[in-house]
């Protein structure tokens, strides 16, 4: 149970939920409640589908490319650290798409699911987490935590208008920066694990 909650929290902050909420509010400004709900459902479903593919086929991808898990740990950790710096400094991810002048017909997959929820740094981290969990029980716990984190993110998106009304845009920006601090610590842990394993070879 402790593995589930720790993995859940890691995935939750990995998705930078408060930044996603602020992007969602900007992308769906002026849409009806029904349109917003449909966008949330499609975005969360797309993110779950993409995350599961990355989670289960990470090891296969490493074998095909001929790279080690530790080298990918270091690369993904560095990318995640850059994303965390961007969140702390500017309140946005460095891979986030600027809100376009015109609202596209459907923003649920692009740019909401990709790259706002699932960006390059997130992809790397999910691949690493999936490859690290080797037993069937651990894999089931990891998948459950991953899906749960995205469902919690979906709930936050459903409550986005209330969240904005209560804490305002400034509050969302502050929470995004706090998320960046947590992501930087996660990135450091991933990088240090990779370096440690390299040194022990």
**Range scoring the smallest mean pLDDT among 24-28, 118-122, 124-128, 145-149:** 118-122
Report whether pLDDT(7) > 50: yes
User: Can you spell out the DSSP letters for 53-118?
Assistant: HHHHHHHHHHHHHT--HHHHHHHHHHHHHHHHHHHHHHSS-TTPPPPPSS--S--IIIIIIIIIIS
Place of tokens 């709900």: 37
What ranges do the domains of the chain cover?
2-97+105-200
Query: What's the mean per-residue pLDDT of the chain?
Result: 86
d(CA 183, CA 32): 33
Confidence label for 96 from pLDDT (cuts 50, 70 and 90)? very low
Tens digit of each residue's pLDDT (9 = 90 or more) over 53-94: 999 988 788 888 888 888 888 888 888 888 788 888 876 655
Rounded to two decimals, the pTM is: 0.81
Structure tokens at 58: 């990470």
pLDDT of residue 93: 58
pLDDT of residue 58: 81
148: burial class by Cβ within 10 Å (0-12, 13-18, 19+)? middle
Confidence label for 131 from pLDDT (cuts 50, 70 and 90)? confident
Tens digit of each residue's pLDDT (9 = 90 or more) over 15-62: 999 999 988 998 898 889 999 999 999 999 999 999 999 999 887 888
Tens digit of each residue's pLDDT (9 = 90 or more) over 143-190: 999 999 999 999 999 999 999 999 998 898 888 888 888 888 888 988
Confidence label for 137 from pLDDT (cuts 50, 70 and 90)? very high
């Amino acid at each position: 149970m402790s593995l589930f909650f720790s993995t859940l929290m890691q995935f939750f902050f990995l998705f930078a939920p408060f930044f996603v909420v602020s992007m969602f509010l900007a992308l769906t400004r002026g849409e009806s409640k029904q349109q917003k709900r449909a966008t949330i459902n499609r975005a969360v479903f797309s993110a779950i589908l993409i995350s599961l593919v990355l989670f289960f086929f990470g090891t296969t991808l490493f074998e095909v490319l001929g790279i080690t898990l530790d080298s990918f740990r270091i690369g993904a950790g560095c990318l995640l650290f850059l994303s965390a710096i961007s969140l702390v400094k500017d309140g946005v991810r460095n891979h986030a798409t600027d809100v376009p002048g015109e609202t596209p017909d459907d923003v649920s997959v692009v740019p909401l699911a990709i790259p706002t929820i699932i960006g390059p740094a997130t992809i790397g981290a999910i691949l690493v987490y999936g490859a690290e969990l080797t037993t069937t029980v651990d894999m089931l716990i990891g998948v459950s935590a991953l899906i749960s984190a995205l469902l919690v993110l979906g709930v936050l998106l459903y409550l986005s208008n209330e969240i904005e009304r209560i804490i305002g845009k400034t509050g969302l920006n502050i929470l995004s920066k706090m998320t960046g601090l947590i992501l930087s610590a996660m990135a450091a842990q991933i990088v240090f694990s990779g370096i440690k394993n390299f040194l022990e070879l």
